[in-house]
Chains A and B, each alone.
Chain A
Amino acid sequence: MINFGYKIQEDRQIDYDSCERRILEFVRKDEPSVDWCMSCGTCASGCTAAVTSDYSLRKLILLSRRGLDDEISTMVFRCRFCGKCINACPRGVNTRNIVYLMQLAIKNHKS
């Protein structure tokens, strides 16, 4: 293809109608507390992985709600399962299990 020196930018808009929320559906089956998250970010504020990377459980849960499953798969494996987020969550969300199930959903999908 001829390189004209420019390209069409990718649409970064979330198209809510056409996205499937596969990871969210998978997590929700075993861990309904995923729906209790109110995006306060307490989990991320105490997170070890967040200090050295862009890892954020608050964002992961939001991404799953918007069906942005590709973005989840690049982020979710940075978790070290220390579990500080479980202690921090003011709503009693079982955070570590959510991360585990997200990883499992991606692994299952790949295999």
Chain B
Amino acid sequence: MEAAAKLSRQGFAVTIIEREESVGGRLNQWHALFPHRKPANELRLMLINEIAGNVNMVTNAHIEAVERKDDGFSIRINNNRMVTACAVLLTTGFDIFDAEKKEEYGYGIYENVITSVDLEQTFRSGKPVLNAQGKTPARIGFIHCVGSRDEKAGNPHCSKVCCVTAVKQAIEVKELLPSSEVYLFYMDLRMFGRHFEELYKEAQFKYGVQFIRARLSEAFENPDGGLQIRIEDTLLSKPLKMTLDLLVLMTGIQPQKKPGNLTDMLELERDTDGFIRPLETYSPYRTKIPGLFCAGGITGPKTIEETLAEARSVTLEITGYLKNIENYAGQEQFIMEL
């Protein structure tokens, strides 16, 4: 949306092709954004406001074929719709790791195991944070790196945003349930971004969130629905067992792997981590297909701030490309299939 707004402001005709009913992608799922904890919907509305009236929109779109012709691209969408464009920008984003694949953590088996996405949706709904028995959880644990830094889960990479998301969600839980105990089980805390370290400190200093360096091997359910976890307290080199009322799995970010995804349809090259391999390291927007660009989560895990910066940056690449092609017909094309 940001790139569409910037391109249309420069006078290009832009069409957004959106798979879902409405644009916004993951912003439609999140409650508040780290590290400033501003509402996700605020940013979504800001972006929608930028494109309103200036950009064509095709929603509920499923792309059936993309053809590269001499003068650009011809895209066939379901219901016999056709769109032509001189340039295409792929912003199809990422998938979230399916927590059921880490069966040993019990998601989908034990009722009191939820994911960070589930928790975010609870926050968004405004409903109270309760366990499956309808009780206020007294002790809540967050497990970092679920489906990240895990070769057995097929994702050897770090998903980057889960550490700070866990800290943000831990603070939100403590605000809603001040008397609860909140534990974060981490391998490393990767507070790489501006104000992230401050958020981590705030969680510790102001909210009393406990950080235990450990990686869970397995969770068990007690007869009362509570969860028994056994970890190694790696800084003490001792095994530790404790019960929790609610277990939140910080599910990671992974490349889109579903059959029929655009990356495979366009035969774009993937890197060893499965995300698209851009043509250039320091300008990771061009692909091997001239006129086809990519930005955002399609080239790896990114924060929203980074994605917005990429959207503005890729705009320069696209305008540069369009000015150099002879037969520019005043058509610009966007693909969003989130």
- Interface set of A (CB-CB < 8 Å, partner B): 12-17, 35-36, 38-39, 58-59, 62-63, 65-66, 68, 91
Task: Given the known inter-chain contacts A14-B233, A63-B236, A66-B236, please indicate yes or no for A35 contacting B204, CB distance below 8 A.
Answer: yes
State whether B238 touches A38 (Cβ < 8 A). Answer: no
- Tell me the residues in window 216-261 of chain B with beta carbons closer than 8 Å to chain A beta carbons: 230, 233, 235-236, 238-243
A39→B213 contact, CB < 8 A: yes
- A63 contacts across to B, CB distance below 8 A: 236
Given contacts A36-B204, A63-B236, A66-B236, contact A16 B210 (CB under 8 A): no
Q: Please name the 9 residue pairs, one residue from A and one from B, whose CB atoms are nearest each other, closest first.
A: A16-B242, A14-B240, A13-B239, A39-B235, A14-B238, A62-B236, A17-B243, A62-B235, A17-B242
- Apart from A14-B233, A14-B236, A36-B204, 17 more pairs, CB < 8 Å: A12-B239, A13-B238, A13-B239, A13-B241, A14-B238, A14-B241, A16-B240, A16-B241, A35-B204, A36-B205, A38-B204, A39-B235, A58-B235, A62-B236, A63-B236, A66-B233, A66-B238
Interface of B is mostly: strand
Residues of A within 8 A of B238 (CB): 12-14, 66
Collect the chain B residues with CB atoms within 8 Å of residue A35's CB: 204-205, 208
Interface membership of B328, Cβ < 8 A: no
Q: Which residues of chain B have C-beta atoms less than 8 A from A62's C-beta?
A: 233, 235-236
Q: Tell me the nearest residue of chain A to B239, going by C-beta.
A: A13
* Chain B residues packing against A (C-beta within 8 Å): 201, 204-205, 208, 210-211, 213, 230, 233, 235-236, 238-243
